[in-house]
Amino acid sequence: MESFGYLMQGFAVALTPYNLLWCFIGVFLGTVIGILPGLGPAATIAMLLPLTFQMNPTSGVIMLAGIYYGSKYGGSTTSILLNVPGESASVVTCFDGYQMARQGRAGAALGIAAIASFIAGTFGVLGLMLVAPPLAKFALSFSSPEYFALMCLGLAMVALLAGKSMIKALLAMMVGLWIAGMGTDIFTATSRFTFGTAELLDGIDFVVVAIGVFALGEVLGNMEVREGAQILPVPKGLRKLLPTLQDLKDCRFAFLNGSVVGFIIGVLPGAGSTIASFISYGIEKAVSRRPEKFGTGVPEGVAAPEGANNAETGGAMVPLLTLGIPGSGTTAILLAAFILWGLRPGPLMIQDNPTLFWGLVASMYVGNVMLLVLNLPLIPLFAQILRLPAYMLYPFIFGISIVGVHSVSGSLFDTWMLAVFGLLGYAMRRLEYPSAPLILGFVLGDIMERALRQSLMMSQGDLTILVARPMSATMLFLAALILLAPLFRKADALRVKAIAEGS
């Protein structure tokens, strides 16, 4: 009941005209970038982050979160119409969605995707609302050793599932830790890795790294190829976009399956919406009365993965908001946004910033309704975005990246660093190093070092403090187990299979 009261206060925040406008802008932009193949939510949030510094934090978070979950809605459009997933999480939607489109049922497939996204997205927010407060209360008992162990566990999970090569994921993470360590040491004021440059004394701005690695790295990678795709005709009019009653009946279990699986996978760091959508599709096929029809254009083959990748968003917000531990590149950027606004996600966040937390939760309910209303009648219009030529889009991304970075510090040095990190992002894509561990290492590096050093100060340099406390010992044991998984052939085969299906 207590949560319900807070939620009502949250709605009072989310339903102000100003926040409604930012929520709408967020979900609209999210839908657009979800539709555009080659531009993900992480890159978009990173690019727009500097522009939100002038806003109040609640409105900024509402907009950035809107981009995050809005992109999940948009991702299905290209999967269904072109067999080209707008986001990696929409790969599974291609299997049956594109087949439905080929049978002349593109409208119904898009409609089912939107309805499944709405139901599961709302379920995800409900889960966030119910799980986050008790988890935050529990995490209040954490001290520095537990926090250090928790971050080790989170990073290990991300390294486990970030790419086919766990060595590369760990290397990327350590490069992130190194970049985070640049600047003046907070405990002793020693300057580290500054190469004698005064500009590096304050460290490297998060925005520079995130925009360089995600946005520029992505665009430079896309510049390698020039591909054209043919759009299938989308039926006009709302009626043809609504699925039949039989379709909805067939999707009953898929809506539930996608919601539950998506939320649970979302809470786990590293797993992400791609894996959630594959698992829910697998479950749907396993329990179906007609598994042989999957892949030929069955509506539940669209509903389950689309639901899962939307419910995952709510799940991913749980560790981010209650523990301050992001589980993916996108949530790492959201964490950085909180830090830049002077907020500290963690156990005290709900207690200290109830307006922001409950305003965000309420805005996610509102945003899901907006997305349903936007997506059902406007899908044909959104699909026209695909006609935007790459030669118009890519210079725009370069421009907004430069302006974004420059607006944060006004320093040309940061713009040079942006070019350097753009090249790094491209090289990582090219050599198949995952970028999420680098960003997570960068975001968590400083906090992790602080937690480790505080722990060792408590024990006067005795490392056993990390394993002497049951909670931190358990988390470190789990982290070690995860890191050792590739040494066991069977466990590694399972890991590689999960990633291969998801990539």
Partner 1 sequence: MRLLKNGEFVSGAVLAGLGVFIIMEAWQWEYLGPDGPGPGFFPLWYGVGLLVLSVTLMVVHARQAPAPESRGMAGTGRAFATWAALVVCVALLKVLGFIVAFSLLTLFIVQVLYRQPFGKALAVAAGGAIGFYLLFDVALNVALPAGKLGF
User: Which residues sit at the interface with partner 1, rule CB under 8 A?
Assistant: 51, 165, 167-168, 170-171, 174-175, 177-178, 181, 185, 187-188, 190, 192-193, 216, 219-221, 223-226, 389-392, 394-396, 398-399, 402-403, 406-407, 410, 412, 415-416, 418-419, 422-423, 426-427, 430-431, 433, 448-449, 452-453, 456-457, 460-461
Which of 51, 496 has the CB closer to partner 1? 51
How near is the Cβ of 187 to partner 1 at its closest, in Å?
7
For 86, phi then psi, to 5°, come to -70, -30
Contact 84, 39 (CB under 8 A): no
Cα–chain-centroid distance for residue 457?
35
Angle of helix 41-48 versus helix 329-340 axis, rounded to 10: 20
Which of 214, 365 has the CB closer to partner 1? 214
How near is the Cβ of 371 to partner 1 at its closest, in Å?
25
Which of 17, 389 has the CB closer to partner 1? 389
Which of 68, 433 has the CB closer to partner 1? 433
How near is the Cβ of 185 to partner 1 at its closest, in Å?
4
Closest CA to 454 of 180, 136, 149: 149
Which of 15, 175 has the CB closer to partner 1? 175
How near is the Cβ of 15 to partner 1 at its closest, in Å?
25
Report helix, strand or coil for 235.
Answer: coil
How near is the Cβ of 201 to partner 1 at its closest, in Å?
14
Which of 2, 224 has the CB closer to partner 1? 224
Residues 218-257 as b/e (b if ≥16 CB within 10 A, e otherwise) read bbbbbeeeeeeeeeeebbeeeebbbbeeebbebbeebbbb
Radius of gyration of the chain (CA): 22
The whole-angstrom separation of Cα 121 and Cα 314 is 7
Which of 219, 336 has the CB closer to partner 1? 219
Contact 145, 329 (CB under 8 A): no
SS3 string, 394-425, reads: HHHHHHHHHHHHHHHHCCHHHHHHHHHHHHHH
Closest CA to 200 of 492, 411, 374: 411
How near is the Cβ of 333 to partner 1 at its closest, in Å?
20
Which of 188, 246 has the CB closer to partner 1? 188
Contact 148, 448 (CB under 8 A): yes
List the Cα angle 345/351/356 in 5-degree steps: 60
The whole-angstrom separation of Cα 387 and Cα 365 is 31
How near is the Cβ of 421 to partner 1 at its closest, in Å?
11
For 224, phi then psi, to 5°, come to -65, -35
The whole-angstrom separation of Cα 306 and Cα 280 is 9
The whole-angstrom separation of Cα 366 and Cα 441 is 33
Which of 128, 418 has the CB closer to partner 1? 418
How near is the Cβ of 446 to partner 1 at its closest, in Å?
10
Which of 73, 442 has the CB closer to partner 1? 442
In the structure encoding, which two tokens stand for residue 309, read together?
């990748």
Which of 172, 311 has the CB closer to partner 1? 172
How near is the Cβ of 436 to partner 1 at its closest, in Å?
17
Which of 224, 292 has the CB closer to partner 1? 224
CB atoms within 10 A of CB 436: 28
How near is the Cβ of 93 to partner 1 at its closest, in Å?
25
Q: Which residue has the tokens 């892949």?
A: 295
How near is the Cβ of 256 to partner 1 at its closest, in Å?
40
The whole-angstrom separation of Cα 154 and Cα 151 is 5
Enclosing H/E stretch for 450? helix 436-458
CB atoms within 10 A of CB 138: 13
How near is the Cβ of 420 to partner 1 at its closest, in Å?
9
